[in-house]
Each structure stands twice: as structure tokens, then as C-alpha cells.
Structure 1
Amino acid sequence: MPGVDPLALAASAVVLAAVLGAALAARPRVPAAAVAVGGALLLCAAGLVGWSDAADAVGDVAPTIGFLVLVLVLAALADAEGLFTWAAAVTAGRGGHSPTLLLGRVAVLAAVVTAVLSLDATVVLLVPVVLATAARLGVSARPHALLTGHLANSASLLLPVSNLTNLLAFAATGLSFLHFAGLMAGPWVAAVAVEFLVLRALYRGDLARRPAAPAPDAPPVPRFALAVVALTVAGFGVAAPIGISPAWPAAAGATALAVRRLSLRTGRPAELVRAADLPFAAFVAGLTVVVLAVRRHGLEALLADLLPDGDDLPALLAVAGAAAVLANLVNNLPATLALLPVAAAGGPGTALAILIGVNVGPNLTYAGSLANLLWRRALGPAAPGAAGFSAVGLATVPLTLLAATVALWTALRL
């Protein structure tokens, strides 16, 4: 493993800071994708990353990026078919007249949407629907919005397809799709339960106010979209054991919904392009090269000295905690890219503990994940300030990290 080169590490870190600054800025002067790609090219031109190494790094992550694009399109098309609006209406109806029961239903809905359609679907598509449902019922939106935002991060533990960080780590674990899901089922349930219980306690005053209006009638069931999403998820589980990339079921599901909308003339090709969010794909590719430079010139060596070996409970807790701290310092996506090469030597338990850290930890600060920024944008002026967001995170993150890591340690020994 290369040692630390202070000058090269400093130069690479400056580029990484610029890329993250563009991503975290509310209105960046230069698009984040342009900064990431430009920074990657600059590092290659300066000789801090070899051109071939950069190409290899982008090639390695390209299938993951492609899958992410397909899932974003699938989720956007399902939303256009009314799937999220229907699900939220059913959730509100079954919540009856109890805000606490409604909060529990929202937790289940957000956890399932995050696990199946990724955290991006939750923050971009589900959060606005949850806000509208709370307003229609006349209840406080604050606990429901915060729980949905938190679960966009912490409920993304279940499947390799739930989060870009999971997709990046999946190959490093050497696990099958179903084995990954089996090991992470316990941490997923633990994380959702702790988030719900803590936020219910924190906002018991808001939840004491009864709904001022009856639950809206649920719209017709979007049967076609529901069937396509269900078959796509089933395809993820079937494809992996027989060596087929999960991108194929995602592509099939997205194609089925796209053909329907285009044939009925209820959608346009331009909407598919916007849903794919190609600038974000370019951002991830550029960021991969920038993080490679930081890793090669010292960060990887520093992390190797920091992370403990083994998969006993203290080691897993230390790994998850370190990953959570790094995610809040440099954002969870760069943290994952930096930690995974080090974790590869520690076995699947270490890699999965890192995922707990980088998926749960970002609930502590807005800078922890890009999903937090999308959530804040969805809430607009109603979003809590940075201090308020972190205050809630201090109440949930340590307990969620502990519960999820203990569940992982237990699963590894079954």
C-alpha cells in the first residue's frame, strides 16, 4: 500500500473539497458535475492519477452508475403512474385518526420505498407526497418529514440496490444478492425501529394533535406500475444467483413503464432523460477519480492504520463509528470510495459495518449525504436549520448505529 505523500495528498484534497463544495452549495456557480469531471481531468493532467488508472476506476464503477440511472428512471415512471400518491393515500387511510399510528405507517412506507427503489426515490418523490398528505390531514408535518428524511439514509441498508454506497460495496463483500440481504435484514429492521421510536418520543407534542380532516380517499390502484415494480424487485433476487446483473431487471421494468407512457402519449422522451439525471452520473464518475487520487497519496494508508481488524462486536462498532465520522467530514459517497479498498482485507463483516456507518451516520449533518440536501430542498423554508437537524441527529444516530451494528454482529454469527 502506498505511503503518504503530503504535497500530493494536499493537492488532491483541495480538488476534493472543491467538488464537494459544488455539490453541497444551494446554487453553485458551476454545476457539480462539471467541477467533478474538471477536477478529475486536472488531477490526471498533473500526473497525480494516471490516465489508465482513471479509466480503470471509471470502468469499474460504470455498471453501478448505469444501474443507478435505470432505477432513477424506474422510480420516476412509477411516480408518474401515481404509485407514490396511491401508497401515501392508503397509508393515511390506514393511519386512522392517530398521528402516532400514521407516523408508524409512514415509517413502513419510507423503509420499503427506500429499500426497493433507492433513497433517491424517497427524498425526491415520496417526501413531497408525505408533506402534502400531512397538510391535507391537518397534522404537523415535522415528525413525518424528519422520519422520512432519516429513513432515506438509514433504511437503505437492506438491499444492494437501495443506495449507491451499497452498490459500490456489493462487489467488495463477495456476497450474493440474497446473502447480502439476509445479513442486512436485521440491521435494517433495527435502524427503522430505532428511528421511529426516538422520533416518536422527540415529537410526542406534535403527535398529540388529532387530525383536523378525514383521510383522503385513495385513488385507483396503479396496477400496472405496482406489478412492474414488484416483478422488478423479484427479478433482482432471481437474477443475482444465476449470474445476471440486477441492471437487467431494472432495465426491463423501466422499459415496460416507458413504453406504456409513450404509447399512451402521457409522457415524453425528454422526461426520461431528466429522470435519468445524467449530470449526477457524470458527477459520480468524476468523483471516483478524485477520491482515487486522495486514496493513493495517503488517505488509504491512514485509514488502514485507523480501522481495527476482525469482526467481533468492538471492532465492528469501531468501524461503523469511524465510517460515520468520515461520512460527515467528507460526505458518505467519497467516504465509501475511500474505505472500501481498506475494508476488502477485513472480509464482508467489515464492509457491511462500513455501510452501516456511511448510511446511518449522514443523519447527523446536512453534509453527510447528498440525499440530505435533496430532502432540505424538498422541504423548502420548512426545513430545519443545520443546528436543529444535527440536534435531532445526535438523538438518533448513536442509538441507530449501535442497534444496527449489534444486529449485524448477531447475523454474522448465525
Structure 2
Amino acid sequence: MSTVTTGIVPVILLLGVLAFAVARPRGLPEAAAAIPAAVLVVVLGAVSLSDAWEQVRTLLPVVGFLALILMLAQLCADDGLFSAAGSEVARLCGGDPHRLLGGVFVVASAVTAALSLDATVVLLTPVVFATAARAGARAGPHVYATAHLANSASLLLPVSNLTNLLAFSASGLSFTRFAALMALPWLAAIAVEYAVFRGFFRRDLARSTRSPEPEDRPRVPAFTLVVVGLTLAGFAVASLAGLEPAWAALAGVLVLACRGLRRGTTTPRKLVGSASPLFCLFVLALGVVVQAVVENGLETGLGRLLPEGDSLGALLAVAAVAALLANIINNLPAVLALLPLLAPGGAGPVLAALIGVNLGPNLTYAGSLATLLWRRVLHQHGEAARLGAFTRLGLATVPAALVASTVALWGMLRLLGT
């Protein structure tokens, strides 16, 4: 192929794969388009076979970790953890929509941080629908909160988001150092989101639709809570010991899976399905396509845009470029493209890019695969995902949260170093 064709074809294939992931015609999995596209860029010479394999090899541990976290989240759902959390929030809010929104923010932020944004979107959002109905509140503010917090509240831990796992691998940080540096940016993003939500949805929050429904409180699965807590502690211990955090995730999955199989709350087939193997294949194939795009022009273009250093101005610029790129080509391809350019500059630019690719997708539906999954959940519950409202809410939250979180990161870097 000519040089021009080699540069254009990977871009067309990447956009085609993302469009397929958005539309999912006939319910086909994302991998149905991504795998042929990955094979095609290798066959056409847009990326060498050795480079493609190196990209897959690099992504395999991250994708394996993702699969374990997804399994852990599903096992928690099977044991009633999310339903119990929703019931407690409904009970404590006492029919007050403002208190319910606060409760949803707390639970969604915790679930996203500990069990990943996919758990918030797929497993918690249906619970929030039911919780709002029981509390007699309008569902809109609360279910929109799960969409935003799935992205914004995923800054805290390496396990909170696939983009975090990739950035964590490139940053050279330990698990605890990553969490310490991102704690204040995480809180800043959530605080901005909450303040904006209170104003944006003030009419919906002004009154309840009816009186709260009485209900039997489901039991809180104490055993599952303990296992999740020990698993999170295990991530930190494994990192300090020089071991992969995946071992702690595997231990948590094995404990809950053995218990679930014994009690009949899960099956081997359900366990495998909860790991989303086709989605994992999609991520690996997408990585190869992105590698072809990076090697044929994107790397050069981004290199001209990205500043050097970790000054406040440089970090803000990196976060802004990352947010813009996430909304153009999706956050996962964006972080794959940015990390090779930013990693040599240290952890600061890498974490600033992570802020951009995690907060930026709240601006458009296409910015994050999690947002696309959230739209499907809304449709399943008969709730319209209003593009205009989503965009206006994004314009109100994203710039402010981006600046607040990046300034907080700059402060933590000066306070703690890397």
C-alpha cells in the first residue's frame, strides 16, 4: 500500500469498529468487527505482525485483570450486595429526593472505585431505578448520576477502570501511591458533579412523585463485604510485595465463586459469561487497530500537541487533549494512543491524561463504552436517554471537573511527589 493509504485505512477501520460498537447491529458483539479489523491492518502492512503481537502481549495482563474484576462484581450482585445497598439508601433518604441523590452519589462512587465502572453501569443502574421508585422520586437525576459517576468516580484506584489499569502499568507507581495521588482529584470530580447535579436537576429534586413504598429490607451480605474489603487490601499488599494485583482479585473471585457454586447462586457458565470474554477479545483487537493508527501518523500529530513537563499548565493541556481525543475516538483508544508518548515524562502527565479520558466521556455518548452500556440499560427500563440533556449536563460538569481534578493532581504531585 502507499504511505497515504497506510495512514488512512487504519483510521477508517478504527472509526468503523467504534461505530459498530455503538450500534451493535443484530446484537452482535463488538469483537465481531474488531477482530477482522485487527487482522486486516496486519495483512495490509499498517502494523507489523511482531508489533501487533507485542501490543496484545502488553494488554493481556490488563485484560485478564479486567475479567477477574467483572467476575467479582457479578458475584457480589448475585449475593445481593447492590440490592442491599439500594435498600439502605432508600430507607435512609426517607423520601427526600435530595438525600436520595446524595446516597446514590456515595454508593455509585464506592462501587465504581472498588468494583469498576462496568459494575456501576450494568449492575447498579437497575438497582437505582428500583430504589428511586420505592422512594417515590423521579428516576432521572439518579440514573444520570450513575452514568456520570461511572466515568468521574473511576479515578481513584487502578481497578476502577480499564483505562486506569493501562495507566497504572505505564506510570511505574505502586497501587498505594496511585491511590494516594488520585484521592484528591477523585474527590474534586465527585464534588463538582454533585454541585452541578443539584442545580441542573433542581426541578426533579423539588418534589417526590408519591409517598415511599414500605418494603422488607434485604439482608446485608456481610461475608461478601468482608471478601471485597480483603480483596482491596490484597491489591495494596500485593503491590508492596512486588506481585501483580491480579492475584488478589483471583483470590476474591475463588472465595466467592466456590461459595456461590455451593449455594447454587451461580454456575460455571454464568461465571465465564460474567468475565465478558468477547469484550476482552474486543479490547485486544482494538489495541492492535489503535497501534496501526498510532504508527501511521497519530503519534506525530499528538506529539506536536502535548507539552513537556508536569507544571500546572502542562497537566491542564494534557488533560484537555486527552478529553478531546476521548470524545473523538473513544476513551480506550485515546489512552492507548497517549500512553506511549506520555510515559517517558513520568507519572504526572500519565495521570493527567487519565483525568482527561475518564472525565471527558461525560460530554458525549460516544466517549466511553460504559456510557453506551448505560443507554441500553435505560432503554430496557423504558427511560429515554435524552441527547440534549446529556450534552448540556456534560457541558456544565466536564470543564469544571477537569480543571478541579487536574489542579488537585498538581497539588498532590507537589505534596507527595511520585
State the TM-score bracket (shorter-chain normalisation).
over 0.9
Residues 203-232 of structure 1 deviation map (CA, whole Å, 9 limit, x = unaligned): 111111135215644311212211111111
Bigger mean CA offset, 358-367 vs 315-324: 315-324
Question: Structure 2 length as normaliser, TM-score?
Answer: 0.96
Amino acid paired to 2:264: R
Which residue matches 2:134? 136
Residues 215-274 of structure 1 deviation map (CA, whole Å, 9 limit, x = unaligned): 644311212211111111111111101011111111111111111111122321111111
Which residue matches 2:393? 392
Structure 1 segment 323-402 matched on structure 2, within 5 A: 323-380=322-379, 381-402=382-403
Amino acid paired to 2:25: R
Do the aligned residues in 2 keep the contact of 1:93 with 1:215 (CA within 8 Å)?
A: no
- Following superposition, the deviation at residue 388 of structure 1 comes to 2.3
Do the aligned residues in 1 keep the contact of 2:151 with 2:362 (CA within 8 Å)?
A: yes
1:114–1:215: structure 2 CA closer, same or farther, 3 Å change rule? farther
Which residue matches 1:197? 195
Do the aligned residues in 2 keep the contact of 1:92 with 1:215 (CA within 8 Å)?
A: no
1:408–1:215: structure 2 CA closer, same or farther, 3 Å change rule? farther
In 2: Cα distance, 1:327 partner to 1:122 partner: 20
Whether 1:266 and 2:268 are equivalent positions in the alignment is no
Amino acid paired to 1:37: I
Which residue matches 2:76? 78
- Following superposition, the deviation at residue 313 of structure 1 comes to 1.2
Whether 1:19 and 2:17 are equivalent positions in the alignment is yes
In 2: Cα distance, 1:62 partner to 1:320 partner: 26
Amino acid paired to 1:245: E
Do the aligned residues in 1 keep the contact of 2:117 with 2:161 (CA within 8 Å)?
A: yes
Structure 1 segment 230-245 matched on structure 2, within 5 A: 230-245=229-244
Q: Secondary structure at the match of 1:47?
A: coil
Amino acid paired to 1:169: A
Question: Structure 1 length as normaliser, TM-score?
Answer: 0.97
Whether 1:213 and 2:224 are equivalent positions in the alignment is no
CA RMSD in angstroms comes to 1.4
In 2: Cα distance, 1:413 partner to 1:184 partner: 13
Do the aligned residues in 2 keep the contact of 1:154 with 1:188 (CA within 8 Å)?
A: yes
Residues 264-294 of structure 1 deviation map (CA, whole Å, 9 limit, x = unaligned): 2232111111101000000000000000000
Do the aligned residues in 2 keep the contact of 1:32 with 1:283 (CA within 8 Å)?
A: yes
- The size of the alignment, in residue pairs, is 411
- Following superposition, the deviation at residue 31 of structure 1 comes to 3.2
Residues 271-325 of structure 1 deviation map (CA, whole Å, 9 limit, x = unaligned): 1111010000000000000000000011011101111111111111111111101
Do the aligned residues in 1 keep the contact of 2:184 with 2:409 (CA within 8 Å)?
A: yes
Which residue matches 1:182? 180
Amino acid paired to 1:20: L
Whether 1:150 and 2:120 are equivalent positions in the alignment is no
Do the aligned residues in 2 keep the contact of 1:93 with 1:217 (CA within 8 Å)?
A: no
Q: Secondary structure at the match of 1:10?
A: helix
Do the aligned residues in 2 keep the contact of 1:96 with 1:215 (CA within 8 Å)?
A: no
Do the aligned residues in 2 keep the contact of 1:5 with 1:298 (CA within 8 Å)?
A: no
In 1: Cα distance, 2:147 partner to 2:109 partner: 10
Residues 366-407 of structure 1 deviation map (CA, whole Å, 9 limit, x = unaligned): 000000011111111413232321111111111110111111
In 1: Cα distance, 2:173 partner to 2:261 partner: 38
Bigger mean CA offset, 257-266 vs 36-45: 257-266
Amino acid paired to 1:90: E
Structure 1 segment 310-325 matched on structure 2, within 5 A: 310-325=309-324
Whether 1:99 and 2:68 are equivalent positions in the alignment is no
In 1: Cα distance, 2:337 partner to 2:21 partner: 18
Residues 41-97 of structure 1 deviation map (CA, whole Å, 9 limit, x = unaligned): 111111111111111110110000000000001100110000000011112212223
1:56–1:272: structure 2 CA closer, same or farther, 3 Å change rule? same
Amino acid paired to 1:272: L
- Following superposition, the deviation at residue 27 of structure 1 comes to 2.9
Do the aligned residues in 2 keep the contact of 1:6 with 1:298 (CA within 8 Å)?
A: no
Do the aligned residues in 1 keep the contact of 2:95 with 2:212 (CA within 8 Å)?
A: no
Which residue matches 1:61? 59
In 2: Cα distance, 1:28 partner to 1:407 partner: 44
1:89–1:309: structure 2 CA closer, same or farther, 3 Å change rule? same
Amino acid paired to 1:110: A
Amino acid paired to 1:268: T
Amino acid paired to 1:253: G
- Following superposition, the deviation at residue 29 of structure 1 comes to 6.9
| Identity %, equivalent residues | 55
Which residue matches 2:4? 6
1:68–1:202: structure 2 CA closer, same or farther, 3 Å change rule? same
Structure 1 segment 286-301 matched on structure 2, within 5 A: 286-301=285-300
Do the aligned residues in 1 keep the contact of 2:95 with 2:137 (CA within 8 Å)?
A: no
- Following superposition, the deviation at residue 166 of structure 1 comes to 0.5
In 2: Cα distance, 1:141 partner to 1:53 partner: 47
Residues 137-163 of structure 1 deviation map (CA, whole Å, 9 limit, x = unaligned): 211011111111100001000001100
Q: Secondary structure at the match of 2:266?
A: coil
In 1: Cα distance, 2:131 partner to 2:152 partner: 23
Which residue matches 1:412? 413
In 1: Cα distance, 2:290 partner to 2:167 partner: 15
- Following superposition, the deviation at residue 344 of structure 1 comes to 1.2
Q: Secondary structure at the match of 1:413?
A: helix
